[in-house]
Amino acid sequence: MAEAAFKARAHGALNDDHLRGALRTATDVLGMMRPVSLQDLADPDAVRDTARTIRKRMVADLPRVLDRFVENVDAVGGTVFRAANGDAAVAYIVGIAQQRGARVVAKGKSMASEEIHLNAGLEAAGVTVVETDLGEFIIQLAGETPSHIIAPAIHKTRYDVAELFTADAAARGETGAPVAPDIPAEFAYARSRLREAFLEADIGVTGVNFAVAETGSICLVENEGNGRMCTTLPRVHIAVMGMERIVETWDELDVMLNVLARSATGQPLSVYTNILTGPRRVDDVDGPEELHVVILDNGRSAIRGTKFEDVLDCIRCGACLNVCPVYRNVGGHAYNAVYSGPIGAVLTPLLRPDDPEARELSQASSLCGACWEACPVRIPLHEMLLDLRARDAPGDGGATRRIGFSLWSWLWSTRAGFVATKVASRVGRRVGRRARRAPGWAGAWLSTREAPK
C-alpha cells in the first residue's frame, strides 16, 4: 500500500490523547492569530501578492541573485561555502569546528541544519551541541526531532517539559527541588542552563530566514534572543541556509518580514529581527571574528524549472501546518520527515524522490486546500499534492489499485457499465446491511462508519 507507514504512525498519534490535546490547543491559537494580525495591513491580499511575486522572481532568477549575494558576503569579509548536499555541508562545518578546536556549539533554530542532520555530525566529531531555541532545547533533551517548523515542541505540555528539565538537572548532578510545571520556573531553568552554553560556545550555528543579496546580509528572526546570542558571543558564526532563502533588496526584505511573523505566530514582527552583515568590524563592540555562510542545495536546484518549482517560494512560516486538519490530528512526527504538514508532504518527496516512505506523504491530505488559503505566498500545495499523486500513485499503489481503477474506468465509461455498478451496489448494501467487516476499502469505511442507507 502506498500509505502504510504513514498510516501506522498516524495510528499511534491518534491514540495519544495527550498529544492530540496539545496539538489542538496550539494550532487553534496559532491558527486564530494569523488572520487577525494580517488585518493590521492596509491591504493584506495585496501584500501577499507582492510577496508571492518577489518569491517567484527570486526562484526564477536564483543563480544570478545568489552570485550577487556571495560576492557581497565576500566583500564584507564573510566566507561562503556552497554545499551540493547535506554531507558536504556537514563535512565543511565539522571541518571548521575541528580546525578551531571547538568543544561546544550553541545552535539557534534552523530547519536546514535539521535537514542535513548537523547535530549528529558534530557530535560524532566529539563536539557538544546545545540547542538554544527553547522549543529545540526541549526536544533535544527528549531525544526527538521537531514536530513543527516554527514550534518544534508544539506536542509537549508544560508537564512534559518539567519532567525533562528535572531529569536534565539530575543528569548534570544538580541537587535541589525538581523543576515545577509552571512556565516561569521552566523559563528560569532554561535561561540559566542556556546562558552557560552561550558563554562556553566556541561556535554559534544558526539558520537564515532571508539572505539579502544587495548587501550580503543575513536576516534572522526569532523571539527569544538566543539567535542574537549565538551570532554575537561565540568567536565563529556559521549560518546555514537553503539556497532559495533569499531576497535581492532590503525593500523586498521589508515585504517578506511583513508577512512572515504574521503568518507564523500572528505577531506584526518577531521580538528580535537580526540583520547581520559580515563578521565583527574593527569598531564593532561585539560580533564573531569569523562568519561562514553555508548555502545548501540538497535537491533544490533539481526542483527549479519543474511543475513543482513553486514549493521553493516557501518562507517556512508554518501557517499551512496550523490550519491543516490532518496535521492537527496526527502531529509532525507522523510525517517522519524534517518538514511536516502540507509543506512537508510536498517538499519531502521532492527532496527525497527515491524514498518510497517520502512518496507516501502526498496521501496524507484530504486535499481541502486550507494550506493554500493560509499560505502567505499562495503556494498551491493542494494542487502539488495532486500532481505528486499523479506522479507516484499508479506506481506505488500496487497492482490491485491499478487494476481496480482500470476496471472502474472501463465500467463507468459507458452508461450500461455504470448502471450495472448501481445495481450491484444496491444489492451489496442490502445483503451486507449489518456488516461491520468487508474486504478492502469497503472494510476501511465500515471500520468507523455505517454504510450509506
Partner 1 sequence: MVVFPTCLVELVAPAVGQAVVRALEARGYTVTVGRGATCCGQPAWNAGYVKDARRVARRTAKALDRTTGPVVVPSGSCAAMMHEYWPELLGESGVGVASRVVEFSAFLGAGADVQARPAGDGVAYHDSCHMLRSLGIKEEPRRLLGGTAELSERCCGFGGTFSVKLPEVSTAMADEKLDEVVAAGCDTLVGCDLSCLMHLDGRARRRGLGLTVRHLAEVLADG
Binding interface with partner 1 (CB under 8 A): 1-3, 6-7, 10-11, 14, 325-326, 329-330, 362-370, 372-373, 386, 388-394, 397, 401-402, 405-406, 408-410, 412-415, 417-418, 421-422, 425, 429, 441-442, 444-445, 447-453
- Closer CB to partner 1, 85 or 414, in the complex: 414
What is d(CA 376, CA 45) in angstroms, rounded to the nearest whole number?
9
Within 60-149, strands assigned E span: 79-83, 104-107, 128-131
Give me 130's grid cell.
Answer: 546545545
- Closer CB to partner 1, 172 or 415, in the complex: 415
- Closer CB to partner 1, 192 or 448, in the complex: 448
* Cβ at position 35, least distance to partner 1 in Å: 11
- Closer CB to partner 1, 88 or 411, in the complex: 411
CA dihedral 405, 408, 410, 416 (to 10 degrees): -170
* Cβ at position 5, least distance to partner 1 in Å: 12
* Cβ at position 361, least distance to partner 1 in Å: 12
Give me 393's grid cell.
Answer: 500513485
What is d(CA 185, CA 161) in angstroms, rounded to the nearest whole number?
11
Output DSSP code: residue 178: P
Helix axes 158-171, 183-200, angle to 10 degrees: 40
Amino acid at 151: A
* Cβ at position 32, least distance to partner 1 in Å: 11
* Cβ at position 214, least distance to partner 1 in Å: 37
Do residues 235 and 227 make contact, with C-beta atoms less than 8 angstroms apart? Answer: no
- Closer CB to partner 1, 173 or 452, in the complex: 452
What is d(CA 327, CA 335) in angstroms, rounded to the nearest whole number?
9
Residues contacting 226, CB < 8 A, separation 6+? 106, 108, 109, 132, 133, 134, 194, 198
* Cβ at position 9, least distance to partner 1 in Å: 11
- Closer CB to partner 1, 100 or 429, in the complex: 429
